[in-house]
Copies of this chain bind each other. A is one copy, B any other.
Amino acid sequence: MPKTDATHDARRRSWVDSANGHPEFPIQNLPLGVFVPPEGGAPRGGVAIGDFILDLGAAHAAGLFAGAAARAAEAASGPALNDLFALGAGPRAALRARLSELLALGSPERPRVEPCLHRAADCTLQLPARIGDYTDFYAGIHHATNTGRQLRPDNPLLPNYKHVPVGYHGRASSVVPSGAPVRRPNGQRKPAGEAAPSFGPSRNLDYELELGIWMGPGNPLGEPIPIAEAGARIAGFCLLNDWSARDIQAWEYQPLGPFLAKSFCTTVSPWVVTPEALAPFRIAQPPRPEGDPAPLPYLLDAADQREGALAVELEVLLLTPGLREKGLPPQRVALSHTRHLYWTPAQLVAHHACGGCNLRPGDLFGSGTVSGPEEGSFGSLLEATRGGRKPLRLPSGEIRRFLEDGDEVIFRAHARREGFASIGFGECRGTIRPAP
């Protein structure tokens, strides 16, 4: 696991004024992404600093990097970060260390760095990488319990849950960056009480609050990744909204799992928060409740148990047409935390590769919906409204069982720890458009 160093020093300030005290992107964060600058041109790798984006290719061309940092900046200067992700932790950490120096208050390089900055509000953010495969896990144990309870009140968790990091293959083509519209899908659904299914717009459209994981160096087909090495294969983290059409899902998912109920769209936040930036926010994997089985040896590593989990607070906000009309702000409908994940990110990587399935740089994982155990911490409307039976009441007078056209869902996330500067993930937003 990465250790803290000077780049995490809460006292370090930047000559980019807006970075100091920035809720998302202070100099201690330095997340990676791909953007198109205000004047247009090819998409390129950049780093968020306060209200600005630093163009990595331009900074590299200006001769601001050497050695491993230069290799990383060069790999990040194209339209996708896959090559940077493939380099692994060493060059990425070297890039971070140099960027932190360059952007720190008092840096003698400021005159050479400043021309490489663009105002973020004028840039367009894209997906950070070409996604080879996208896999969605189910590691939020309270979500699994809450949704399982709706089907099996006495026995909500299936027998495999505490042994297997359950997951399924998702659709890579329909992953979009924050801000892209989300079209309500048509599909087959068979409402309770109707004799036959019909085809039309989903009536039970939902969000799912997930942590996204970007893969770094992968493994050749047939060769597993040992759990002790699995954490170091991760290139970074983001927010992920696994939009779900519950009525389509209920009808289609037996026996092979969710398909069109999920694959119409998945939204990710565009910034990749690196394992280096998150070093201060590592926590022990919460102890398993009394009676739970120990993970099998291929999923068990002492260091991973000690510091492989993350302390990241996750929020869901909802902005409806009625709230917008009344000038009311987005309403927070959930506050959750990554400590509610039953498996660490490294366990998800090691499990995915344990049978030899090859992971590639730029592959994306979803953690599964991160819900807490109590009211107000549920990562989906299915849980928050008990499948629609207990609607949300908004200050606009609107009620919500599931999402309506025009609703905007906003996820935010922050890592916090006493003595360290908080860092944010940026937003993961999407607005529901009517079905075609």
Contact = CB atoms under 8 A, between A and B. Distances in A.
A347 B201 CA distance: 19
Contact of A222 (B183, B248, B256, B293): B183
A260 B170 CA distance: 13
A356 B167 contact: no
Contacts of A258: 168, 256-257
Nearest to A132: B173
A196 B296 CA distance: 10
Given A168-B259, A257-B256, A356-B436, A265 B221 contact: yes
B187 A256 contact: no
A351 B263 CA distance: 12
A234 interface: no
A226 to B, nearest CB: 11
A142 to B, nearest CB: 16
A371 B170 CA distance: 27
Interface in A261-281: 263-265
Contacts of A265: 221-222, 356
Interface residues of A, number: 66
A229 interface: no
A212 to B, nearest CB: 17
A116 interface: no
A171 to B, nearest CB: 5
Contact of A356 (B185, B257, B363): B185
Contacts of A164: 188, 197, 251-252
A181 B221 CA distance: 10
A158 interface: yes
Contacts of A354: 185-187, 199, 260
A223 B164 CA distance: 36
Interface string A152-170: 0000001010011011111
Given A264-B356, A265-B356, A188 B163 contact: yes
Given A168-B168, A224-B186, A259-B167, A358 B160 contact: no
A111 B259 CA distance: 52
A404 interface: no
Contacts of A148: 255
A312 to B, nearest CB: 24
A151 to B, nearest CB: 8
Interface string A344-368: 0000000110111111100100000
B296 A436 contact: no
A262 to B, nearest CB: 8
B224 A132 contact: no
B256 A174 contact: no
A248 B255 CA distance: 15
Contacts of A297: 199
A378 interface: no
A166 B252 contact: yes
Interface string A121-139: 0000000000011001010
Contact of A355 (B260, B293, B352): B260
A178 to B, nearest CB: 15
Contacts of A257: 168, 253, 255-258
Interface in A232-266: 245, 248, 251-260, 263-265
A257 B259 CA distance: 10
B172 A172 contact: yes
B188 A296 contact: yes
7 contacts: A132-B172, A169-B170, A186-B355, A222-B265, A224-B436, A255-B257, A257-B257
Given A169-B170, A186-B224, 20 more contacts: A132-B172, A148-B255, A158-B254, A160-B190, A160-B254, A168-B256, A168-B259, A169-B171, A174-B358, A183-B221, A183-B356, A186-B355, A187-B355, A222-B264, A222-B265, A248-B355, A253-B257, A255-B257, A260-B355, A263-B355
